[in-house]
Amino acid sequence: MRRFCFAVFALVAMTFAASAFSFSAHADDWNKTYKLTGRPTLRVITNDAHVDLYNSSGDEIDAHVTTNGYAIGDRGVRINESQNGNEVDLEVHIPSFHFFFGWNNRSVRIELRVPREADLDISTDDGSVTSQPFHGQVRISTGDGNIEANGLSGEVRLHSGDGHIHGTDFDGELRADSGDGRIDVAGRFDTLSLESGDGSVTAEVASGSKIANDWSIRSGDGSVTLLLPDGLNADLDAHTGDGHITLDFPVTTSGVISGSNIHGKIGSGGPPLIVHTGDGSIHISKI
């Protein structure tokens, strides 16, 4: 009886293994084009997919979903989509069970081609996001992935729970935060808010930037490097809990000055420029 049970168990295990191998080798794709009559708003939600955003000059949004190791359908990757005028919503849900062999080789990628003038709201729980230049209200959020974005302008919000954020040629308002990754950005800014819970922060501020309201650059446990152009006016508040501060240009200081705490005016002074780190050094210099 014991041998019979073992044989049945082995047969079931081999059946599951064969099914898993067959399922894991599966690849699939899905495409749809959305015609537009004006400025689009695109919302994308996915629990475990990589998202690539490409700009286009046409009057449509092209969406392409490709899978490796998944079928697209009710028993695999589920896609829900809708269009209401120029508003497009796309939801891609990946199965969450993890007992199949070869699970680590599975992947889902969402490629989107969108007019450059657009409002975007992109959210993935466990994937990275890359983006070409767009202008508008742009929100990109990932729970456990990296963000690579270049040329975003307008009102930009970037969030990663556990990945790095990198971007160049920003223009306008940028608010970016990472729970456990470095932040490295460059551009012309009117509003700038950067915060990493456990990573370094580097910001290169281009000529023409202005501190329209408070700027804040913070790291809980990393160094901060800030490169500033000539002609920027601000009241500097720099503080590190366990590091040192270096300035490569004159600052009109006031109050108590130490290697870990500096208050003073950059240029003629202006709105606050707050640069804080809990456990790292701060380096501020001119470009």
Q: Residues 169-180: pLDDT tens digits?
A: 999 999 999 999
* 274 domain residue, yes or no: yes
CB atoms closer than 10 angstroms to residue 213: 12
pLDDT of residue 257: 64
For 240-273, letters b (16+ CB in 10 Å) and e give beebebebeeebeeeeeeeeeebebbbeeeeeeb
Indicate the average pLDDT of the chain: 89
Of 95, 127, 159, the residue at which a domain comes to its end is 127
To the nearest whole percent, how much of the chain has pLDDT over 90?
A: 76
- Mean pLDDT check: name the lowest of 67-71, 122-126, 150-154, 255-259: 255-259
For residue 215, pLDDT over 60 is answered with yes
Residue 111 and residue 9 share a domain: yes
- Mean pLDDT check: name the lowest of 17-26, 109-118, 249-258: 17-26
Domain limits for position 32: 1-127
Residue 230 and residue 185 share a domain: yes
The residue that leads in pLDDT, 249 or 99, is: 249
Residue 146 and residue 104 share a domain: no
Total domain count for the chain? 2
Residue 223 and residue 159 share a domain: yes
SS3 1: coil
pLDDT tens figures, 17-59? 444 444 444 789 999 999 999 999 999 999 999 999 999 999 9
Q: Which residues contact 22 (CB under 8 A, 6 or more apart)?
A: none
Q: What's the rounded mean pLDDT across residues 197-224?
A: 95
User: What is the C-alpha separation between 191 and 175, in angstroms, rounded?
Assistant: 8
* 200 domain residue, yes or no: yes
Residue 5 banded pLDDT, cuts 50, 70, 90: very low
* 259 domain residue, yes or no: yes
Look at residues 61, 45, 73 and name the one whose alpha carbon lies nearest to residue 143.
45
Residue 168 and residue 81 share a domain: no
CB atoms closer than 10 angstroms to residue 19: 12
